A and B are shown apart, each in its own frame.
Chain A
Amino acid sequence: MGTYFLRRLLLAIPTFIGCTIVVFSIVQLAPGGPLEQQKRQLQAAAAERGGSGGVASEGETTIPPKALEELKRYYGFDKPLHERYLIWLGLWPREIDQYSVTLDSARRVSGGQFLIVKRQAGGLSVYDASNTSTPITTWLVADKKHEDGSPNIYVYKTTFSGILTGDFGRSYQYREPVIELIKERLPVSIQFGVIGFLVAYVVALYLGIQKALEHRSRFDIFSSVGLFALNSMPGWALGAILLMLLATDTFWSLLPLGGMQGTDYESLQIGSKIIERARHFILPVIAYSVGGIASLTMLMKNSLLENLSQDYVRTAFAKGLREKRVIWMHAMRNSIIPLAARAGFVITIFLAGSFIIELVFNIEGIGKLSYMAILSRDYPIVFAFTVIGVSTLLLGNIISDFILALVDPRIRFK
């Protein structure tokens, strides 16, 4: 059993690499990357400036080619794609502390050190400005020629740091380590996800059982229609409608419009604080859980119905067991097996759901963060979200197997 899960974990590694390669390549090759964004920003700024002078020529790059190359270097786009991927993983040296230099003139770098780059017979080498006899090895030097052939020399240090070492890079937008941004927001997303998940399961279990026990009754038919309608609407769309109905002046202004807490939250008593929190949670949790509820309910209902017609249920009745015990113990214990096994998968649905729901309800979670990051091509955040997503998916599958092994004695993984 233990070895089975160990093997599953090991097998998750190639899957993880495959998934991240695909996402990494697609995102990096897609047009509208950070370079183009920077370009556009500069152009817009130039157009504004030039607007008064009336000499702006639209569509023309106003960034000098040298600056552009420096930007490329800053973002790492001067490297081939596979190198970029390995750097991101942390398996290829990452260039840090880059400084453009001119030959034979001292350059102040981090740590207050002054460096001089000289051209030797073998090529370029770096010296400490105070001692130009022996070259130093802590700093490296490279010459990527400019397009016009003139030298483009810079010094830099290298380090192995990537997601494998826990370094998710810095956000382009926030200029902050991505890991910090995520640390702030993940708990928020998890709160909503877990509560939505639990609500979905509790409601689906209850509804599914009632529907199975009252199969073909009026309640069963009407709830099926309702569930079908809910199922055809994405959670965020329902959320937006509910917001409009219940949280704006247009209809009833009963619930808050979004966020986690009101502005006067800190001044409230503990009881009011809880109520305030709950009021902020109601609509998002509804939006989170509707997607899962419909399918989970039908799964529960069908599973219970199927089990109630099994031979072992007849045996249980033949033993003289009471109906309550037959249903709630014998049939139910078997019926929850498919639901329990789905739990790992459902977790990933909630992660995916967070994307737009957090936006609709203005929740500062990783979903909203990543959505904004995609719009602004903030690659490090997008990739970090990919890592979280893929890991949850893989882990979810393993968790599902694990739960299945727990609840079904027939399953023994080898």
Chain B
Amino acid sequence: MAQETLVEVRDLKTYFNIEGTWAKAVDGVSFDIYKGEVLGIVGESGSGKSVTALSLMKLIPDPPGRIMGGEIRFKGRDIAQLSYEDMYSIRGREIAMIFQEPMTSLNPVFKVGMQISEVIQTHFKVDRAEADKRAVDMLRQVGIPDPEKRFNEYPHQFSGGMRQRVMIAIALACNPSILIADEPTTALDVTIQAQILELMLDLKQRREEAAIVLITHDLAVVAEMCHRVIVMYGGKIQEVASVQDLFAAPRHPYTRGLMASIPRPATPGSAREPLKAIPGNVPSIMNLPTGCKFCTRCEVKVAQCDTVEPPLAEIVPGHFVRCHLVQPEGGAQ
């Protein structure tokens, strides 16, 4: 693929110090983000998706968290090594983020308009009036009716979906190269979810260059929105593929398990497939297995899986899988 790489993440390790021991929330994650793509990150709760995203922004709360190693190459710089001082010009300007909880992500005591124009004034040399004008324009872009009036209202006067629109307005106000959306619709009800995703796609189309990293539980959303998908489990990437490859031929037993747990309408004539949840629970990051992180729940595991961590191998170009049972195309299986 002749795509231009925007971010190169290499062997990222983000740990949390929990009562003296380092819990490996993200442990050796490597991936790229390409210009203009929508990259999905999926995985069950606790798999390290948010920590990966927050690491890109250097927003890991320290203590207890810390980026222990690895590189995050972005525009010739390594974010992992940058000082907090240098991060100020990247956050909100180059990389922006929206969060899962629209109800609590806005400051309750400031007007919505101020919270948008604030980010504009932080990154651009414009006066208050110009920043306010752009903020009203952002409100209009994210589909808030009567933006001049709503500009002067407080977050509690907005519904959850409207607040998430405001968050998107804040995130896109400075035209960042990357927008990270960490489960932006999880807290919203279904019809609102669809509207927000549609809005994101719509805004994306007007920003050819910008990349979106979309973190979600929902594979249906991934199928709809993303170009490429990263599947995470136990702080590690288990599978990376284009969205077509992943849905056509999921390789990792964990990915297959996730796919099997999507409810599908029964096709007429055929018996309805039973919904299959992955058995067992996500292990705590305090005691992950030494071998494959998924071995405690894997239905096809072999003896080797308990002790040896498989490498993330490229089985076809652009499709990476971390599993002892999946060999590169042409190899023995």
Contacts and interface: CB of A to CB of B under 8 A. Distances in A.
B148 interface: no
Interface stretch (B75-83, B118-126, B274-282, B316-324): B118-126
10 contacts: A314-B105, A315-B106, A315-B107, A318-B57, A319-B119, A319-B170, A320-B119, A320-B123, A333-B109, A410-B156
Residue from the set B101, B109, B156, B167 with the largest chain A CB neighbour count within 10 Å? B109
Interface string A299-326: 0000000000011101111111111000
B92 interface: yes
A318 B154 contact: no
A318 B110 contact: no
Nearest to A331: B107
A315 B105 contact: yes
Contacts of B156: 409-410
A129 B276 CA distance: 113
Which 3 pairs from chain A and chain B are nearest by CB? A320-B92, A320-B91, A319-B92
B109 A320 contact: no
A322 B88 contact: yes
A330 interface: yes
Given A318-B97, A333-B110, A311 B91 contact: no
B57 A334 contact: no
A323 to B, nearest CB: 7
Contact of A409 (B96, B108, B122): B108
Contact of B104 (A310, A316, A319, A337): A310
Interface residues of A, number: 21
A408 B91 contact: no
B49 interface: no
Nearest to A408: B109
B107 A312 contact: yes
Contact of B154 (A315, A317, A333, A410): A410
Interface in A394-414: 407-410
B59 A318 contact: yes
Given A334-B108, A409-B108, A321 B118 contact: yes
B49 to A, nearest CB: 16
B108 A330 contact: no
A44 B92 CA distance: 86
Nearest to B89: A320
Interface in B62-105: 84, 87-93, 96-97, 99, 101, 104-105
Contacts of A318: 57, 59, 91-92, 96-97, 99
A323 B101 CA distance: 22
B108 A312 contact: yes
Contacts of B107: 312, 315-316, 330, 333-334
Given A322-B88, A409-B108, A410-B154, 13 more contacts: A316-B107, A317-B59, A319-B92, A319-B96, A319-B118, A320-B87, A320-B92, A320-B119, A321-B88, A321-B92, A334-B107, A407-B109, A409-B109
A255 to B, nearest CB: 43
A315 B118 CA distance: 12
A409 B97 CA distance: 26
A195 B59 CA distance: 43
Interface in B195-235: none
B109 A334 contact: yes
Given A318-B96, A319-B119, A410 B108 contact: yes
Contacts of B96: 318-319
Interface in A329-344: 330, 333-334, 337
A320 B123 CA distance: 8
A314 B104 CA distance: 10
A320 B88 contact: yes
A315 B167 contact: yes
A278 B46 CA distance: 61
A320 B101 contact: no
A409 B99 CA distance: 23
Contacts of A323: 84
A410 B89 CA distance: 32
A314 B59 CA distance: 8
Contact of A311 (B90, B101, B122): B101
Contacts of B108: 312, 334, 408-410
Contacts of B122: 319-321
Contacts of A333: 107, 109-110
A409 B154 contact: yes
A231 to B, nearest CB: 29
Nearest to B153: A409
Contacts of B119: 319-321
A140 B96 CA distance: 88
A310 B104 CA distance: 8
Nearest to B120: A319
A402 B122 CA distance: 33
A376 B170 CA distance: 69
B90 A320 contact: yes
Contacts of A316: 107
A312 B104 contact: yes
A404 B118 CA distance: 25
